[in-house]
Amino acid sequence: MDVGRIAESVNAALVVVTAAHNGERSGCLVGFHSQCSIDPVRYAVWISRLNHTYPIATRSDHLGLHFLDESDHDLASTFGGMSGDDVDKFAGVEWSVGDFDVPILTNCKTVVIATRVTCLDDGGDHVGIVCEPVASAVERFRPLRLLDVQDITPGHPSS
């Protein structure tokens, strides 16, 4: 099944997921994400096992979910086109330490801090992290979408 062609039609909005653990911080661009429960509210993000972000996001109790606006192509490029294995992505962006020590990208207007509830590991190359939103700053935005970042090559192979 050509899921890739379906994904192009769906044209998912993009988020940057950030996390910190044991003094290390990381973050990556994510297209695999969705609300996955209404009551209680749950939100899931799927992170590649090979990403620098993976061990930090799966050990941290909290994640930062940054919903990118169409003006955030530079952030998408930094967090989707580079790996924390090679560079400190946070050196090139404005950020601060938020609630629960979550790294917050200060230029993003719509940000959710979420508590990790569980991980879903079915043996695939991405692992789901299901979270409960506990704090948010929300403004209306026009999402940056998959087809807006076709020029960005993922900074880390997924397999």
Ligand X SMILES: Cc1cc2nc3c(=O)[nH]c(=O)nc-3n(C[C@H](O)[C@H](O)[C@H](O)COP(=O)(O)O)c2cc1C
What is the binding site for ligand X (CB under 6 A)? 26, 28-32, 46-48, 51-53, 80, 82-85, 126, 146, 149, 152, 154-156
Residue placing its CB nearer to ligand X in the complex, 64 or 155: 155
Residue placing its CB nearer to ligand X in the complex, 40 or 123: 123
Residue placing its CB nearer to ligand X in the complex, 40 or 49: 49
The secondary structure of the chain, three-state, reads CCHHHHHHHHCCECEEEEEEECCEEEEEEECCEEEEECCCCEEEEEEECCCCHHHHHHHCCEEEEEECECCCHHHHHHHHHCCCCCCCHHHHCCEEECHHHCEEECCCCCEEEEEEEEEECCCCCEEEEEEEEEEEECCCCCECEHHHHCCCCCCCCCC
Instruction: Supply the minimum distance, in Å, between the C-beta of residue 69 and ligand X.
Output: 15
Residue placing its CB nearer to ligand X in the complex, 40 or 82: 82
Instruction: Supply the minimum distance, in Å, between the C-beta of residue 70 and ligand X.
Output: 14
Instruction: Supply the minimum distance, in Å, between the C-beta of residue 39 and ligand X.
Output: 25
